[in-house]
Homo-oligomer: A and B are copies of this chain.
Amino acid sequence: MKNLKIALLGATGMVGVEYIEFLHRHPWFKISNLCGKKSVGKKYGEAVKALKNIPKEVAEIEVVEPDPKKIDADLVLSALPSEAAREIEKQFVENGYPVVSEASAHRMEPDVPLIIPEVNPDHLELINMQKKKRRDGGFIVTTPNCTAVGLIMSLKPLLDNFGIRKVVVATYQAITGAGFPGVPSYSILGNIIPYIKNEEEKVSQETKKILGRLENGRIKYAEFPVEASCARVPTIDGHLEAVYIETEKTFDLDSVVEGFRNFKGEPQTLGLPSAPSEPIILTDLEDRPQPRLDVMAGSVPGMSIVIGRIRRGESENSLKYFVLSHNRIRGAAGIAVLTAELIYKKGYIG
């Protein structure tokens, strides 16, 4: 496939740096612009020195303003913080760019697809509705909140096989989820913060949108309750979640395990470059998944979720498990790149 020029918005943040790994030797994509706000004019490596050591050829790129008139790109990826995203992403769309964003700003708009490539690629059809409204070819596709991603991927095979009546989830979220400088060390060292602003609402709403059905150009949200309790913990990467669900149909645990194990989606079928061979990795070690040991598991490190401790609850048709997903990769940079690959492969760009 022809190489696409990529402009990355929010390139200098905690998530921005994670795109580099995916983009700098990508078979289809090529970084054309790294955009930041406070670091305009600096070399990229210098701008992100507190976050990550960057490969030399990328480190030398000069950070530029996120201005649609000044960049040169076939596709825009956005790692902007939510408030900045609202206006800036809109400008790019209005200037005719396809935008794939992991920011929350536009996720819940009715004609904006909120995508996990393995779960609801059919929702991409909404792109056509956007294209109709705007003649210039610009559109936006979003990816979900980093906490919602792992949960939803784990729910998908359960929903398909047994139906879902209720979800109760408590989270153990890594500090990188809060960006940089993010959580002060005094607040989290040897501590837990049982609150993340708007997170519980996002987890609930995004789950229902993504697991909803596209009917006549509208998404009919899933209707089961999603009861989330979100907490920040002193880990670097990897959101761990304790999930309790009740299904509609009875199940046996073997079928649950099989459903997880066999879960695949379009990225795997299409052989997308950033698609892990196993989107869901199962562990049968009794005390896993653990963030530090398992967050980079799989063929594309950080792109698989890891599920363990699958067990029945005491209630009828109830199931419990823990799921781990990399918040900056599967939950942000990686999923955005995978989504970009998907829409490119499916012909939405160019």
Interface residues, chain A, with chain B CB atoms under 8 Å away:
14, 49-53, 166, 168, 170, 172, 175-176, 180-195, 204, 225-227, 229, 231, 233-236, 240, 242-244, 285-294, 297, 308-309, 313-315, 318, 320, 322
Chain B residues with CB below 8 A from A184, complex form: 50, 180-185
A-B contact pairs, 22 of them (CB 8 A): A50-B186, A52-B293, A166-B315, A168-B244, A180-B186, A185-B189, A186-B236, A188-B189, A189-B292, A191-B291, A192-B233, A192-B290, A193-B287, A194-B240, A194-B290, A194-B309, A195-B286, A225-B314, A225-B315, A227-B314, A229-B320, A233-B233
**B residues in contact with A229, CB < 8 Å:** 170, 242-244, 309, 320, 322
**Is B186 in contact with A181, judged by CB distance below 8 angstroms?**
yes
A67 to B87, CA, bound (A): 41
A176 nearest CB across to chain B (Å)? 6
Q: Is the CB of A292 within 8 A of B227?
A: no
A189 in contact with B186 (CB, 8 Å) = no
| Seed contacts A183-B185, A195-B286; 6 additional CB < 8 Å A-B pairs | A182-B185, A185-B188, A187-B290, A189-B292, A194-B289, A225-B318
Chain B nearest CB, measured from A324 CB (Å): 8
B185 adjacent to A175 (CB under 8 Å): yes
Question: Which residues of chain B are within 8 angstroms of A286 by Cβ–Cβ distance?
Answer: 195
The distance in angstroms between the C-alpha atoms of A49 and B194, with both chains bound, is 15
A172–B172 contact, CB under 8 A?
Answer: yes
Residue in A182, A188, A229, A236 with the greatest tally of chain B CB atoms within 10 Å: A229
Are A294 and B53 closer than 8 Å at their CB atoms?
A: yes
Task: State whether B172 touches A288 (Cβ < 8 A).
Answer: no
Nearest chain B residue, comparing its CB with the CB of A235: B190
Complex Cα gap A4–B82 (Å): 50
A315 CA / B226 CA spacing, docked (Å): 9
Instruction: Give chain B residues whose Cβ lies under 8 Å from the Cβ of A51.
Output: 186
